[in-house]
Chain A
Amino acid sequence: MGLRDVLAGWPLVRQLTGTDGLGRGAAARSGRTDAARPRTADADTVTASVCPFCAVGCGQKVWSRDGKVTHVEGDPDSPISRGRLCPKGSSTLSLVTSPSRVTTVRHRRPYGTEWEDLDLDTAVDMIVDRVLDTRRRTWQDTDDQGRYLRRTMGIASLGGATLDNEENYLMKKLYTAMGAIQIENQARI
């Protein structure tokens, strides 16, 4: 490619000499632009979803390929959002694919100074141990007036309001059967 060709390919020259005087169309294109394809084109699935941030409930479409989310966009069919997402909703792809996400269990021993690794299955068993032990130690059958309590005041829970209804349901059901009553949510605070 000669100098002349390089010069002719320069966007500024193309803008000045071609039909795209404002440099917002053909003059701005490059080989790379021409080769670019939307992330959505290569997706193998598109899933209907709902924005996980505020309570407006905007519709989202989630594109994924090979088991990874590749793109998230507003769902134009939603009568609530009509395809729009705010800055938070638009950041959903980086939320769910963030390199900052922790993907292994971390454990800190009492008085420990560092995190340690722990197998997920072991961790759940250890939590079961602690729940049963704490429940046993803090159990109240009745109060000092003989009124029936059947509860523990030793296990508290604070759940976020971005949990699914089904998750809240299992939480309330299990905690109540367990006798734990200090069960709370962002909905109060």
Chain B
Amino acid sequence: MGSNMAEAHPVGFQWVMEAKRKGATVIHVDPRFTRTSAVADLHVPIRAGTDIAFLGGLIHHVLENEAWFTEYVRAYTNAPMLLREDFADTEDLDGLFSGFDPGSGTYDTTSWQYEGGTAPPASGQRDLEQDDAEGSAEEAHEHERGQVAGSGGSPVETWPERDDTMRDPRCVLQVLRRHYARYTPAMVHEICGIPEETFRRVADALVRNSGPDRTSAFCYAVGWTHHTVGVQYIRAASVLQSLLGNIGRPGGGILALRGHASIQGSTDIPTLFDLLPGYIPMPHAHRDEDLASFIESNSGRKGFWGDMDAYTVSLLRAWFGDNATADNDWCFDHLPRLTGDHSSFRTVMDQVDGKVPGYFVIGENPAVGTANARQQRAGLANLEWLVVRDLNMIETATFWKDGPEIETGEMRTEDIGTEVFFLPAAAHTEKDGTFTNTQRLLQWHHKAVEPPGDCRSDLWFYYELGRRIKQRLAGSTDPRDRPLQDLTWDYPVDAHGEPSADAVLREINGSGADGELLPGYTALRNDGSTRCGCWIYCGVYADGVNGSARRRPGGEQDLVAAEWGWAWPMNRRVLYNRASADPSGKPWSERKALIHWDADAGRWTGGDVPDFPVDTAPDYEPPEDARAAEAIGGAEPFVMQADGRAWLHAPAGLADAPIPTHYEPAESPVRNALYGQQANPARQRFDRPDNRLHPEPGTPGAEVFPFVFTTFRVTEHHTAGGMSRWTPYLTELQPEMFLEVSPALAAERGLEHGGWAHVVTARSAIEGRVLVTDRATPLRHGDRVVHQIGVPWHWGPNGLSTGDAANDLLGVALDPNVHIMETKAATCDIRPGRRPRGPALVAFLADRRRAAGLED
């Protein structure tokens, strides 16, 4: 679901086809019939933006038919935990949970917690709730949640009450039952447009294929994440898979199909505002916070986050070397502090408002590649200086010369003050380094040739930038320059001045007091004796061997292929694999065995690296004063969670809901059939003239944008096209922008196959060739038909293969946990013929906004 894997991850999809060949049932739930649907056993067309209603329907089915994996659910999930009496569900409050503040549009999540268990701010909200009086925590709280939740659990300090019979009306299982009581097949039909019998086929197939002997997996991509409720999409799958016992077991799981060579690596070693390497949160501004209180408020007592002090001190030692000492709090105050949302969209709006003078854009093309691309270009045009590093002359580098706003007359080149540096980049064949793929596997690519001309690696650029900055500031006595002066920056360079990526990977791996490379994160210490640039990558260079460069042929290995590359953490391939065995340590079934307890040897063993303290026996009960790994009970597989369990209800850590709930997209043609609350009440909104969203359904002006569009990719192009639109073969395969419409919509709007049409929103109008196809399915919603238009987003005006950018159509509305935008469901109009050009486009859009009652 939320993925067209055959098209976007074609070579990975060969394994789905292998599974199908061995008897697996492949079901594709997606608004569009695609190359994935074509080879699936069943394609289920769904209205864009309604997947939680569908998944909620499946959860309802599992709960009502008592089809859950009883022993797994009782022992490994928080189903038996009791919730507080003051918790109120969406069934009680017509689509809101308890704790909502309509003024700020945010939740106080206190009432979502366990009865008798104190859950301080969860992983996603770490480092926020210390200053309560000044409103600072609230400000941070408003924006900063979620990302960290992906990697870790939350601190639960005392043991909550639970009912192992799972009958208590306040236990999580019963709360779930009530929450999903109305997510019936009939409701799924009404909301998603999926016939009841089709829904039942999916539900039966999923239940039949889950349990001790069988497992099912969900694959998703940005079709799930690009929503104002994106995190809750993934949570809904987590609830379902946990109920069915499909987590931590071979063939199970929820697989995030990430879109770029190292997008997983860019999250692990984050170029993201709210994270430090290894999902340690960036500190927020607090009064009198030292490292100890930062750790205290952010790490649980139990589980592997309990050693966060060792990970953080080792990171600070890697960055500031011998300058970081116990006496100066390991240079914790060298880290800048956050005060809220500093994510990309907020920053771009600040650029538009003239608040951000400098901008580096590194291998990225926001001028066509980011939602509300007109706003992105307005931001670029209002900088003092811009550095673009890329292979080709992308739109982000040329907006001032030939961007769409130059053509419409909204901008004049002579008026744009942005100084632009275009620095040509080296290709992957021209540098050493690692990519982390979608399964957390680090793979080393070796340099084949030197880069041409002025082309350099980004490693060279940042090394050189840092070296020169340090040189300039060497004599400074200004305290603000101390972090740069103290920064370790001694990387060996080759004859061409290229720094050694190998040396950087060694720093990331970490070393001990004598410089020896560390074997793994359990070797990290909080006393300054170890250094480590990213704790979850610790062990990639164990024993002085670059594990990411291992290439023992797959044909010589078993299916796990543990000697090809290196997967974090500790070369584990299935996370939480302790759950592949029952509480007593035996595999749930021989067919689905992975890890088991070997009582004779006194250790966990099996076909993967155990994701568990290796000598903790299944019957181990931690003493009360135990902490970190020692506090993990022998039958608690979810070792990053502070209660060791998979969370069906999330007592903390989320900004918008403890239990996934169906809300309509920020722009939808229909009302929410379940609640009075239409869209995610906690979504991030930016109501500005350059970011107008369409009126709610049923209000005046909504009829101006009656159709749904969803953006998508094709195999032959890559994201915003920077690496594909300049290539002749790919251009020949996919030469130009097109729009997918159904025959019914084509008839309604007079669109001709192969002719031109333009899609219109309050933000812009873009044109493309019309592709009339039965693959685009209109869906019935109540008494009306909802038409869905497919809009590929690869194009822009530069390169060999050109076309309008789909991102010009989108407004910015964000998931409040992770600040990710909604691109997969929005409303629009479509008209035959080419769009207006030049100043006529500006007038046309103003007219459309006026018609919809939107202010300019």
Contacts and interface: CB of A to CB of B under 8 A. Distances in A.
Contacts of B675: none
A168 B134 contact: no
Contact of B553 (A53, A77, A109): A77
Interface stretch (A3-11, A15-23, A34-42, A93-101): A93-101
Interface in B454-486: 454-459, 461-466, 468-469, 472-473, 480, 483-484, 486
B293 interface: no
Contact of B463 (A89, A170, A178, A186): A170
A105 B723 contact: no
A80 B820 contact: no
A185 B271 contact: yes
Given A110-B418, A162-B260, A91 B483 contact: no
B33 interface: no
B419 A164 contact: no
B557 to A, nearest CB: 6
Contacts of A96: 427-430
A111 B261 contact: no
Contact of A132 (B343, B423, B447, B472): B472
Contacts of B728: 94
Contacts of A147: 131, 136, 285-287, 337, 339
Nearest to B821: A189
Given A94-B727, A164-B501, A56 B438 contact: yes
Contacts of B411: none
B829 interface: no
A101 B421 contact: no
Nearest to A179: B336
B393 A188 contact: no
A102 interface: yes
Contacts of A28: none
Interface stretch (B98-106, B298-306, B713-721): B713-721
B384 interface: yes
A33 interface: no
A143 B285 contact: yes
A153 B116 CA distance: 42
Interface stretch (B4-12, B578-586, B663-671, B758-766): B4-12
A49 B448 contact: yes
B395 to A, nearest CB: 14
Contact of B391 (A58, A88, A101): A101
A118 B357 CA distance: 21
Interface string B552-585: 0111010101001100000000000000000000
A90 to B, nearest CB: 8
A7 B357 CA distance: 74
A168 B723 contact: no
> Which of B387, B416, B435, B508 has the most chain A CB atoms inside 10 A of its CB?
B435
B422 A102 contact: yes
A58 B733 CA distance: 21
Contact-residue size bin, chain A (C-beta under 8 Å from the other chain): 35 or more
Contact of A80 (B363, B437, B453, B472): B437
Interface stretch (B364-372, B643-651, B677-685): B364-372
A187 interface: yes
B136 A189 contact: no
Please classify the interface of chain A as helix (H, G, I), strand (E, B), loop, or mixed, using the class held by over half of its residues: mixed
Contact-residue size bin, chain B (C-beta under 8 Å from the other chain): 35 or more
A143 B339 contact: yes
Interface stretch (B81-89, B262-270, B748-756): B262-270
A188 B421 contact: no
Interface string A138-154: 11010101111111111
Given A128-B468, A158-B361, A179-B483, A106 B422 contact: yes
A171 interface: yes
B442 interface: yes
A30 B473 CA distance: 68
Interface in B712-739: 715-719, 723-724, 726-730, 733
Given A87-B729, A147-B286, A158-B344, A101 B271 contact: no
B551 A154 contact: no
Given A49-B448, A177-B487, A148 B268 contact: no
A67 to B, nearest CB: 5
Contacts of A12: none
B847 to A, nearest CB: 30
A120 B462 CA distance: 14
A143 B534 CA distance: 30
Interface of A: 45, 47-60, 62, 64, 67-69, 72, 75-82, 84-92, 94-96, 98, 100-111, 113-115, 118, 120, 123-128, 130-132, 134, 137-139, 141, 143, 145-189
20 contacts: A48-B444, A57-B439, A57-B441, A60-B445, A80-B441, A88-B716, A88-B718, A104-B453, A107-B421, A110-B419, A124-B464, A148-B333, A150-B336, A160-B364, A163-B262, A167-B462, A184-B273, A186-B263, A188-B343, A189-B344
9 pairs of A and B residues whose beta carbons are closest in the complex: A79-B554, A160-B363, A164-B433, A57-B437, A103-B453, A161-B263, A151-B336, A161-B260, A79-B561
Given A50-B428, A80-B437, 13 more contacts: A50-B443, A55-B262, A64-B429, A95-B723, A102-B422, A130-B358, A148-B285, A150-B333, A179-B483, A182-B342, A184-B272, A185-B364, A188-B819
